[in-house]
Amino acid sequence: MSVADRVPAPDATLPVAGLVAAVACWWAITVAFAVPAFLLPSPTAVLARLVGNPGLYLTHAVETLRKILVGGAAGVLAGFTLAVVVSAVPLLRRALYPYLVAARVLPKIAVAPIFLIYFGIGFETAVLFVALVVFFPVVVGTAAGLSRTPEAHLDLLRSVDADPLRTFLSVRLPHALPDVFAGLKQSVTLSVVGAVVAEWILSNDGLGALILAASENVQADVMLAALAVLLPIGLGLYGGVTLCQRAVTWN
């Protein structure tokens, strides 16, 4: 049986209906109250922006997605690796874990100006910022999951002289998967936010930069069109992580 057969397809009826209702309410408000376009453009005005210049939004969307994927992959890899190390070395865990938890609640946007001073503006700086944003939920979630392994299971593997790699793959990692994926879901959401913030401060391209330029020129329709493109990117990435979780942790 394939993974596609084992994982049920999500029901999109209610979410789509909710989206249609929200857009309808949005349109009704702009018409009923004659809201000025610079305050709240109608859905048709936003759609006209998208249809009128699709290449602009596609180009910026690709740049934003590149930052999310490259920075996200780097942050996930670094966070997972450090979590495994601190879980394998109890002394290191006691020394570092409190600081990792404390750093997680630090507003990352406050770090962006520091990155600007040390690394300047560019794709690499934006990727580094996204990686930083993604790093902490992954390392904290994975470390917490790896610490939840039942001691009885570990004792059983010790009794048969199982090597550390086998213990990790057969017991520790499977028990940690719910926490690992919880951290990944937070990271996916934060990676989109991090990419937009990076494009406000550390980069000159991407949907975040487009939104910033539109706000300076009071172009609400351009801003909403960019958000309309950004939304499916975030939902698609989150949905991909969810599908991976269902496939990996399916019983």
pLDDT of the chain along its 251 residues, tens only?
Answer: 444 445 454 566 887 888 889 989 999 999 888 888 888 899 999 999 999 999 999 999 999 999 999 999 999 999 999 999 988 888 888 888 788 878 877 788 888 888 989 998 999 999 999 999 999 999 999 998 888 877 776 666 666 666 677 777 778 888 889 999 999 999 999 999 999 999 999 888 999 999 999 999 999 999 999 999 999 999 999 999 999 998 887 55
pLDDT at position 10 is 55
pTM: predicted TM-score of the whole model, two decimal places: 0.87
Closest CA to 134 of 190, 54, 217, 215: 190
Instruction: Give the other-Cβ count within 10 Å of 152's Cβ.
Output: 7
Q: If phi over 0 gives left and psi between -120 and 50 gives alpha, with beta otherwise, what is residue 40?
A: beta
pLDDT of residue 108: 81
Q: Which fold has domain 49-248?
A: MetI-like fold (1.10.3720)
In angstroms, the CA 47 to CA 70 distance is 30
CA distance 29 to 45: 14
CA atoms within 13 A of residue 24's CA, in its CB half-sphere: 6
Measure CA 21 to chain center: 27
